[in-house]
Amino acid sequence: MLSFREEIPITKDLIYFDNASTSLMPKTVLDAMNEYELTARANVGRGIHRLSQISSQIFWDAHEKTKAFIGGEDGLCVFGKNCTEAINKVAYGMSLKKGDHVITTLLEHHSNILPWIELRNNGVLVDFITPDQDGYLKPEAFEALICKNTRLITFTHVSNVLGTVQPVETICSLAHDYEIKTLVDGAQSVPHIPVDVSETGCDYYSFSSHKMLGPMGIGVLWMKEPDLKPMIIGGGSITKVSADGYALEEGYAGYEAGTPNVTGAIGLRAAIRILSDLKMDNVRGHETKLTDKLVDGLSGIDGIRVFGPTGNERRVGVVSFLINDLHPHDTAHHLDDQFDIMVRSGDHCCMPLMTHLGLPDGTVRASLYLYNTDEEVDIFLSAVRELSEGI
């Protein structure tokens, strides 16, 4: 696992603990994208010449590899810009109308809150589940809010602030007992734990390439059934157009109008190949050991408040904390400036959660990935202890 660091030269110069935001990208992924651009660059699905045919085949294979990686071979994989766009595709593709009801949570990233607030302006009813202090969503809280007009339950698989892993299978099973669709935000789960959408039982699942060793600018929406109305239509998504109307392509093409990010798809496919070779159980095990060490170490330093669950079965390597009364941004600045350690600070695009937790300035967030090491955690803990004692 640790020899993988050779693929990411920047790890020699600094400690990168901001993986919940964006992971670092291995040279292998960049090489795959460069090779495509230099040898096979062409648009997909609309050309007869060899480069277009090669591009189309590679692009198709990227969809297939992505589906297989999350156990979604029986569903449809649609590419877009990011997880945010994927969530919006569901929000607007369901054609929700006035009086329809959506249940989401205060734990969500803004990307899984703002579309529902916007639809609320059109008469859609929206309720928010409140997590407990560890960021855990209780299935019975969802059931208490279900009504005859509930069309969708949407929630995050893993909290990007507290690292809490949610009972996805239980919540999705509950929703389906009432014939309600489910959308799961997998941005923080797919890169870090084994995910099988056939077991989770969700209808829609979203995630982003840039958090899982891949390039920025490409995300994924997996659908159990192609039952959404496309949010955008245009060239590449149709089979026939006349002055009287049009017919959409079947499969992912019907949801990917315009020239897609083919190079990004190549990079995502390369990243998935790396993660598949490493095996996600191994990634999970490596991160769990580091997370235990990080949480235990922080908890043993005077003046440190650590947030989130304590058991490693209920969390991933996303650890939020505060040092005494030091502002989170000051902590992040000192860690960077004095110790070459990169962390995130602030509200982490989760203002409703921060309000619920009584943290107006947010937290400091250290988030781990497969290329982080025991030695880096030791250095980090030493730096935090020094900052804490210096206040």
Q: What is the DSSP pairing of strand 101-105 with strand 150-156?
A: parallel
Helix crossing, 280-299 with 374-389: angle to 10°?
Answer: 20
Q: Are the C-beta atoms of 67 and 58 separated by less than 8 Å?
A: no
d(CA 83, CA 72): 17
Residues ≥6 apart with Cβ < 8 Å to 266: 32, 33, 36, 58, 62
Q: Are the C-beta atoms of 223 and 244 separated by less than 8 Å?
A: no
CA 62, 68, 71, 75 dihedral sign is positive
| From 83, 147, 202, 349, the catalytic residue | 349
What is the token pair recorded at 91? 């929000």
Q: How far does the chain reach from its first CA to its final CA, in angstroms? A: 37
349 included as an active-site residue: yes
Residue 36, H or E segment: helix 27-39
- φ, ψ dihedrals at 5, nearest 5°: -60, -25
What is the token pair recorded at 59? 């692009």
Residues marked active site are found at 349
